[in-house]
Amino acid sequence: MRDDFDLEDELAKSIASIVDEETADAQAYVNKSTPEAGDTPDEEEKIYDDEPDDDSDKPDKKKVIIIVASVVAAVLVIGITAFLVVRAAFNKSKDNYGYYNELGYKAYDDKDYDTAITDFEKALTYDEGKGDSDTNINMMLYLYECYKKTSQDDKAEAILLDVLDRDSKNENAFYNLMSVYLDSKDYTKLGDLYEKAANTGDDDIIALFKKYVPQDPVATPDEGDYNDDQKVFLSADDESKIYYTIDGSDPKDNAQVFSNRIELKEGQTTIKFYAVNDYGIKSDVVTKTYNIQYSGPTAPEITPSDTTISQSSKVMVTVTGIASGSKAYYTLDGTTPTTDSTEYSKPFELPAGTTVVTVMVVDGHGKTSMASKTYKVTYESKYTQTEAEDFIWSALIDKKIVNKKHVDKDDNNCSMDYYSLKTVDDKQIYMFYYNIGHDAQDYWYGADANTGDVYKVTGSKGNYKLSSVK
């Protein structure tokens, strides 16, 4: 039926057509029953004409009957036609989007939610109900309320998702879907809904989720350039789980749960991570880039700084600048140290003469640094050999080992012969043979060339030991 259908116009046309048709038929019938002038009846007709007939007006009555019958038939046809036309027009007035839309709102106002659902759903089947107009969106939100009132949760969720398909920034749909997922504790869908909200870029919609969105996690230490290995910790303000990747890929596609420190070695590493709270909502992805380039250990410092030394006390070499986790090795002959060389652990003494001290530091990554110094050392004693001998005789007299004439308690004449200046127990010692009578003893007496202290010296072949004089 056409959209421009007009009931009155169609009814008038139908009645006029029927009247014209029936009137024409009746008139034709009457004309046929009345002979025209000049007609000659046949034989049979003549026989009937010869019979007497008292009703001379019968042809007029028959004509009236035919006309009346025709009019009645016409009226009957008109009535039937009018009924059919009116019914068709009435049915057409119900078969459209606006009719069911209006019925739906009326049923909703009457709190007849089941009827409202039926009417709203019917309205949505028309072409007008398949668009994204404000009228459709509003009706769909009312339909959601009807589903909710009748505990049809699946349909309630589906109609809201349909709203978002038509209007991706519909704040009412987001708000109501949040309620649906929170009531059902479907936090996975709640998290997916937040992702959809975040993609809208609409601050008002994103703000709906503020209470449920975790804070962005943080990394310690922060990103930057480093010259040593780093141990990175990820943390969140609440009990959220943290997922991360270290290959630059999206952690929402393939990530592992953070449980311990992330150890970074030399090179560039990009850590991407985010937090997920108990609602299943993800924070923004945080990206941190670390550039680690091993620079190697700093060169060690060798002291003393003066390389030409003349003194009576021993010259001690100290190596500083060895970083924690690194080790130092040294040589004294000018060769390059290796890890098989002497490991430095404490200051060491330089011998008299020229000595090339070379030190190598090796850090935990196997990187090395080197330093070297050439020393020229001359030892000058504070006391002379003669003074040292006098110190020894004074000590022996004081201990009553000999008297002032160098005679012991057994009346033996005692004497001393100079042996050598030796380093014993880190001391420069003038060593003297001690003779009782004409017999040399198997020990020495010695005096410190720098302090004058006197000792008894035992041992042999360089393995000497100092002890006090008794």
pLDDT tens for each residue of 362-385:
998 999 999 999 999 987 788 989
Give per-residue pLDDT as tens, 104-147: 999 999 999 999 999 999 999 999 998 999 999 999 999 999 99
Q: What average pLDDT does the segment 424-437 reach? A: 92
Tokens standing for residue 345: 């652990």
**Rounded distance between C-alpha atoms, residue 31 and residue 63, angstroms:** 9
**Rounded distance between C-alpha atoms, residue 70 and residue 21, angstroms:** 10
Which amino acid appears at position 128 of this protein?
Answer: E
Confidence grade of residue 396 (pLDDT, cut at 50, 70, 90): very high
Residue 468, φ and ψ in degrees, nearest 5: -75, 155
pLDDT at 352: 85
Q: What average pLDDT does the segment 186-211 reach? A: 92
- Indicate the domain borders of the chain: 7-35+55-94, 218-292, 301-379, 385-467
Q: Is 293 left (phi over 0), alpha (psi -120 to 50) or beta?
A: beta
Helix axes 171-184, 134-149, angle to 10 degrees: 20
**Paired residues of 327 in beta bridges:** 362
**CATH code for the structural domain at 301-379:** 2.60.40.1080
Q: Which CATH class is domain 218-292?
A: mainly beta
What lies within 8 Å, CB to CB, of 349 at 6+ separation is: 314, 315, 316, 317, 423, 426
User: For residue 333, is pLDDT > 80?
Assistant: yes
Contact assessment for residue 251 and residue 274, using Cβ atoms and an 8 Å cutoff: yes
> Pairing relation of β-strands 368-379 and 308-311?
parallel
Tokens standing for residue 341: 């060389």
Q: What average pLDDT does the segment 208-234 reach? A: 93
**Rounded distance between C-alpha atoms, residue 237 and residue 70, angstroms:** 96
Identical fold for domains 218-292 and 301-379, yes or no, is yes
Confidence grade of residue 423 (pLDDT, cut at 50, 70, 90): confident
**Rounded distance between C-alpha atoms, residue 99 and residue 126, angstroms:** 11
Per-residue burial over 17-38, b if 16 or more Cβ lie within 10 Å, else e, is ebbeebeeebeeebeeeeeeee
